């Protein structure tokens, strides 16, 4: 089947195939080694497709996404508070878990219906530490005390938790993994960091995450009681294609737990958040660990909530902090009407392909 025919058939069935994997604990639908979850390329010549009536029924803007974009769903609520818990992290895992528990309870007391934790909040951020602190999330219970705590709290407090990330051990591999918990205490989604942090800026920062960690295989978007949320972890924020896929799947909010460093933090952390929010006209929330100047990896901090026009709605410096701020989804449609880029794309010139959705039909 040609790509165009695939798009046509998918469009006619879009209601039935949208994000059918939301409620699975694993989003690892495709396992071939060469599977790539997304790709961006200039659109192929359409001269031989000109008489294809299903394609002709789509606007240029719709065909700039394959499959065509999902309309923004009506969220389960319009306004709510989000809590960003910028936590200090120590080598004492039990302390880290107890500390996160207290922060989540405080955020909930302040009215947060959604709480976001930092990247690697239960362990020092180092290749030496990941294997030691890793947990078997699928086994749960005593094999994963960090997620057991998040499950218990989300249920007890009746809140949604985007549980930052922790090192995960699964089938002999290690992953940097974010779990999303619903108000029933169950894991609604699990995102394994797709883009590993392998960088080398001589004299500044060198870190090769792939020495110990394996990359995740799929984008992760999940319907929660506070809207449709796309998940990325730290380095994932550098890839606009992932955020574009989430937007095309109808995300209201993107959450990125992340620990940028003292080199890339001041340069790119805020810029990337504002870019992802502005490009896709949705909310972006990030959560970093607090800075510990004495640790092997020094985090930038500056956890932030950004609105759909790229405006900074709430942020903090590098110390420990709990930020509670309001999200108002009613402005998403308003912003998209004010500045209608979603209807102005040129599908005759370029296209973003979401292979997972395309292949899932």
pLDDT digits (tens, 9 = 90+) for 313-358: 999 999 999 999 999 999 999 999 999 999 999 999 999 999 999 9
255 among known catalytic residues: no
Active-site position among 85, 179, 234, 287: 234
Give yes or no for residue 170 having a pLDDT over 80: yes
Percent of the chain surpassing pLDDT 90: 83
* Confidence band, pLDDT 50/70/90 cuts, at residue 49: very low
**What pLDDT, on the 0 to 100 scale, is given for residue 57?**
65
In this predicted structure, what is the pLDDT of residue 302?
A: 98
- Has residue 56 got a pLDDT over 90? no
Going by pLDDT thresholds of 50, 70 and 90, the confidence category of residue 361 is confident
Which of the four pLDDT bands, split at 50, 70 and 90, describes residue 7? very low
Domain boundaries 79-359, CATH class:
alpha beta
The mean pLDDT value for 263-267 works out to 96
Task: Please give the average per-residue pLDDT across 149-177, as a whole number.
Answer: 98
**Which residue in 172, 124, 168, 114 sits closest to 146, CA to CA?**
168
- The 3-class SS string of 71-102 reads CCCCCCCCEEEEEEEECCCCCCHHHHHHHHHH
Q: What is the pLDDT of residue 59?
A: 87
CB neighbours of 208 closer than 8 A, spacing ≥ 6? 127, 198, 200
pLDDT of residue 58: 80
Question: pLDDT digit string (tens) for 66-111?
Answer: 999 999 999 999 999 999 999 999 999 999 999 999 999 999 999 9
**Is the pLDDT assigned to residue 141 strictly greater than 70?**
yes
Q: Is the pLDDT reported for residue 187 higher than 70?
A: yes
> Which residues are within 8 A (CB) of 70 and not within 5 positions of it... i.e. 6 or more apart?
14, 18, 19, 248, 249, 250
85, 93, 113, 119: which one is catalytic?
119
Q: What is the mean pLDDT of the chain?
A: 88
Catalytic residue among 193, 209, 217, 255: 193
Percent of the chain with pLDDT over 70: 84
Over range 37-55, report the average pLDDT: 40
pLDDT at 116 over 60: yes
Q: Is 168 known to be catalytic? A: no
Q: What is the mean pLDDT of residues 300-312?
A: 98
Angstrom distance (rounded) from CA 104 to CA 109: 9
Kindly report, residue by residue over 218-253, the tens digit of the pLDDT: 999 999 999 999 999 999 999 999 999 999 999 999
Q: Is the pLDDT of residue 1 over 80?
A: no
193 a catalytic residue: yes
Query: Span 38-53, mean pLDDT?
Result: 40
Torsion of CA 240, 241, 244, 246, to 10 degrees: -110
Please report, for the chain, the start and end positions of each structural domain, with discontinuous segments joined by +: 79-359
pLDDT for 327 equals: 98
């Amino acid at each position: 089947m040609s790509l165009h025919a695939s798009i046509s058939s998918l469009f006619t069935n879009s209601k039935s195939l949208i994000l059918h994997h939301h409620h699975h604990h694993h989003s690892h639908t495709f396992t071939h080694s060469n599977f790539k979850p997304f790709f961006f390329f200039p659109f192929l010549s359409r001269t031989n497709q000109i008489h294809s009536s299903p394609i002709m029924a789509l606007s240029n803007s719709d065909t700039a996404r394959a499959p065509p974009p999902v309309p923004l769903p009506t969220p389960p609520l319009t306004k709510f508070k989000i809590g960003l818990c910028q936590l200090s992290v120590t080598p004492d895992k039990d302390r880290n878990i107890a500390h996160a528990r207290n922060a989540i309870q405080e955020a909930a007391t302040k009215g947060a219906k959604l709480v976001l934790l930092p990247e690697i909040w239960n362990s020092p951020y180092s290749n030496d530490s990941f294997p030691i602190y890793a947990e078997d999330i699928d086994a749960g219970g005593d094999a994963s005390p960090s997620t057991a705590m998040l499950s218990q709290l989300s249920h007890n407090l009746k809140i949604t938790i985007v549980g930052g990330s922790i090192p995960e051990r699964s089938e002999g591999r290690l992953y940097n993994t974010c779990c999303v918990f619903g108000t029933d205490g169950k894991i609604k989604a699990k995102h394994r960091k797709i883009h590993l942090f392998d960088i080398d800026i001589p004299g500044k920062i060198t870190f090769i995450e792939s020495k110990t960690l394996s990359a995740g295989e799929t984008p992760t978007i999940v319907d929660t009681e506070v809207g449709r949320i796309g998940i990325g972890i730290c380095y994932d924020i550098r890839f606009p294609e992932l955020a574009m896929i989430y937007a095309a799947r109808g995300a209201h909010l993107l959450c990125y737990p992340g620990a940028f460093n003292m080199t890339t933090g001041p340069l790119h952390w805020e810029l990337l958040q504002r870019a992802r929010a502005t490009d896709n006209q949705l909310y972006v929330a990030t959560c970093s660990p607090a800075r510990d100047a004495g640790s092997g990896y020094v985090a930038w901090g500056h956890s932030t909530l950004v609105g759909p026009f790229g405006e900074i709605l709430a942020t903090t410096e590098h110390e420990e902090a709990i930020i509670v701020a309001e999200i108002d989804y009613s402005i998403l449609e308003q912003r998209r009407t004010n500045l209608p880029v979603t209807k102005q794309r040129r599908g005759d010139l370029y296209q973003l392909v979401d292979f997972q959705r395309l292949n899932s039909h």
